[in-house]
Chain A
Amino acid sequence: MRETRMCCQLAIAASALRRHGAAGASVAIALVVWVVPGWGGASESTVAPSAIGLGTVLTAEEIERYAITVFPDGRGLPPGRGTVEQGARLYRVQCAACHGAQGIEGPASRLVGTDGFIGWSDPLRPLRVRKYPLQVFSVGAMWPHATTLFDYVRRGMPMHAPKSLTDEEVYAVTGYVLHLNGLVGSQAVIDRDTLPRVVMPGLARTVSAWPAER
């Protein structure tokens, strides 16, 4: 790999010489001098894999375009805000068809309630569980951080048109789902400051199986 690149540099130097005469020659010499110290006498077979260097620079603009992950401390949350009230309207249009009017009916993942099977007193419980096993876990009961709601609604919802909601709409829907779980009031405004402060019941129950996180 190194050798190939050196050859290229030399070829460029040679062609510079041909085209520009003496002025080009100094460029050519500069190129050779620049390449040789990096060569370091290493043979082709001792190129360290980490020094292959085929990666290209990722610009700050590119990072900003793609880096959509939101972290529990609020890192990654965008400006903007949404209210529970706006969220209720959006939920009816964008979410209720799959998650149910109350966020408990399914068929898609259950948003509201304690975890476990849907109501132990529900006579249709075995049928419901058989049909929609994922209804046993609810967002409100399991998820340890409210920021995950914003992150996932923004990246993945609604399922038929992911990433089609504005940041304000995502804040609003997030607020409404938190409200359905009794975690914020009906007048709540959700933004990058308030969202990370919502305490989710799943946090106190969390235990990490990965040693470094215990």
Chain B
Amino acid sequence: MTSDNGRAGLARRTFLGALAAGSSAAAMAQPAQTLAARLPGSMARAGGADVPYGQPSPHEAGVQRTPSNHSGFAVWRTPLETQRGIVTPSGLHFSVHHSGIPEIDPQRHSLRIHGLVQRPLQFDVERLLRYPMVSRVHFLECAGNSAANALSPTPLDQTLGEIAGEVSCSEWTGVPLRYLLQEAGLKDTARWVVAEGADGASHNRSVPLQPLLDHAMVALYQNGERLRPSQGYPLRLFIPGFEGNVNVKWLHRLEVTDAPAFTKDESGLYTQPLADGRIERFAFHMDVKSVITHPSGRQTLPEPHGFYEIAGLAWSGYGRIARVDVSVDGGRTWTAAQLQGPVLDRAFTRFTLPWRWSGRKAELISRATDEHGRTQPLRSEWKRRYAMHSFNHYNAVQAWRVQADGRVENMYA
């Protein structure tokens, strides 16, 4: 033991001596040069230890959600401009909560189903976890996403995430809601379900029964792990394609009824005043929409001209994306972008288009069309339908102006 230490100590002193002799000495001693001396430092050291729950590289510390409290409640937006592929990391998924994030002990949480059912039932979380589950990749978008573009008379110079980051896409896993509703036994008069969360203000929304039976789930997992607290831990309602706030987080109660309750959020905040003065309610589907993520707002193209890949995301609350057209000249001409697979039902679809930038001012726009032929309006067309102060369900095309110096700015097409 002692002699081993002695030899190691000698070797170490020799090594330190060589370092102290300086680089000229090392260069002269070429025959003895080690790989360590000429390769990057990370290749000449044993690496660091891993941690129980992996984290992004410290060099990616700038990839963060952007918060805002302008609405009187917390909104955290996904930095879509940093995302590649179609799945949003769970920690970057957008979230909006009107009364904060409740702390819920899953062992003391239950889902209750009552109202127009034969057998009012409750399911504790442990029981729910024993039901057959399905996994689906779906986007989730806040009804108020892109409100700044809808409301502001002039385009705000913001990043894509700041403008339109209240949309994300995850793999959601849970129990099809129809299993539980059928177990409770629906009465003939059942038409709607009032879903309620276990947060401070018991956020609740009325949802028509049929889409719940068709494809809603009680989601317990997101991207392979249990839901994050800000996504409704331990369970949330998930209705593919429907506006964010009906996907009730911290779900604890489903009251089956014959009519909607006209809850707070279906009375004011999540309704749309129309241009003719009427107020549109229960517009659940998020319509077809797309955004170019690369390049996008407040980015700068590093060289004045040359090859850039235009990449973006498209989605529709009604189904699959059929095509995305891209214009680099402000909408005068359009080219069909390539859709990267998989093209999934009510999920982000990645599109790309190779582009050789001339170095002159350019205006980039994407326009998505879904399998039902629904397509995106221009901002002026969207504004004509709604009252001046309306902002929900904004799905007009997003345009970016690329200045000659490479700066990319939000613009209205």
Residues of A at under 8 Å CB distance from B?
Answer: 1, 49-59, 62-63, 66-72, 106-109, 115-117, 129-134, 136-139, 142-145, 147-148, 151-152, 155-157, 159, 162-163, 202, 205-210, 212-213
Given A52-B179, A54-B123, A202-B279; A115-B389 close (CB under 8 Å)? yes
When C-beta atoms are compared, the residue in chain B nearest to A138 turns out to be: B268
Extra contacts besides A52-B132, A156-B202 (6): CB < 8 Å: A52-B130, A134-B72, A142-B268, A162-B99, A210-B282, A212-B191
Interface contact A207-B261, CB-CB below 8 Å: no
B268 touches A137 (CB 8 A): yes
Give 20 A-B contacts (CB < 8 Å), ordered by A residue.
Answer: A49-B179, A57-B120, A66-B253, A117-B389, A131-B70, A134-B72, A136-B389, A137-B389, A142-B268, A142-B271, A142-B273, A143-B262, A155-B201, A156-B201, A162-B200, A205-B278, A208-B282, A210-B208, A210-B282, A212-B210
Do B261 and A70 touch (CB < 8 A)? yes
B123 touches A67 (CB 8 A): no
Give CA–CA (A59, B196) in the complex, Å.
18
Render B250-279 as a binary contact track against A, CB cut-off 8 A, 1 for contact.
001101010111111001110101100111
Hey, what's the 0/1 contact readout for B314-343 against A, CB within 8 Å counting as 1? 000000000000000000000000000000
Q: Is A133 within 8 A of B208, CB to CB?
A: no
Q: Does B158 make an interface contact (CB < 8 A)?
A: no
B264 pairs with A67, CB closer than 8 A:
no
A49-B131, A49-B132, A54-B131 given; A109·B180 CB < 8 A: no
CB distance from B127 to the nearest CB of A (A): 4
> Would B119 and A57 count as touching, CB distance under 8 A?
yes
Q: Does residue B280 face the partner (Cβ distance < 8 Å to A)?
A: yes
Query: When the two chains form their complex, are residues B259 and A202 in contact, meaning their CB atoms are under 8 A apart?
Result: no
* Residues of B participating in the A interface, judged by any CB pair closer than 8 Å: 70-72, 99, 112-114, 119-124, 127-128, 130-132, 147, 151, 176, 178-180, 182-184, 191, 194, 196, 200-202, 204, 208, 210, 252-253, 255, 257, 259-264, 267-269, 271, 273-274, 277-284, 387-389, 391
Chain A residue with the shortest CB-CB distance to B117 = A58
* Nearest CB of A to B48, in Å: 44
Query: Assuming the A-B contacts A58-B121, A151-B263, are A206 and B284 also in contact, with contact meaning beta carbons closer than 8 angstroms in the complex?
Result: no
User: How many angstroms from the CA of A68 to the CA of B255 in the assembled complex?
Assistant: 10
A144-B267, A206-B279 given as contacts; is B71 within 8 A of A134 (CB)?
yes
CB neighbours of A147 from chain B (8 A): 262
Residues of chain A with a CB closer than 8 A to B132's CB = 49, 52
Contacts A58-B120, A139-B268 given; indicate if A209 touches B262 (C-beta within 8 A). Answer: no
Q: Is the beta-carbon distance between B70 and A49 smaller than 8 angstroms?
A: no
User: What residues of B have a CB within 8 angstroms of the CB of A117 in the complex?
Assistant: 389
A69's partner among B72, B121, B255 (CB-CB below 8 A) is B255
Enumerate chain B residues within 8 angstroms of A55, measured Cβ to Cβ: 113, 119, 121-123, 127, 180, 183-184
A128 and B70 alpha carbons, distance in the complex (Å): 11
Q: Which residue of A lies closest to B285 (CB)?
A: A209
Tell me, rounded to whole Å, the shortest Cβ–Cβ distance linking A197 to chain B: 15
Q: Check A133 against B391 for contact (C-beta < 8 Å).
A: yes
Given the known A-B contacts A58-B121, A209-B283, are A69 and B151 also in contact in the complex, defined by CB atoms under 8 Å?
A: no
Q: How far is the CB of A161 from chain B (nearest CB, A)?
A: 9
Flag if B263 contacts A53 (CB, 8 Å). Answer: no
Instruction: List the 4 closest A-B pairs by CB distance, nearest first.
Output: A156-B201, A50-B182, A55-B121, A209-B283
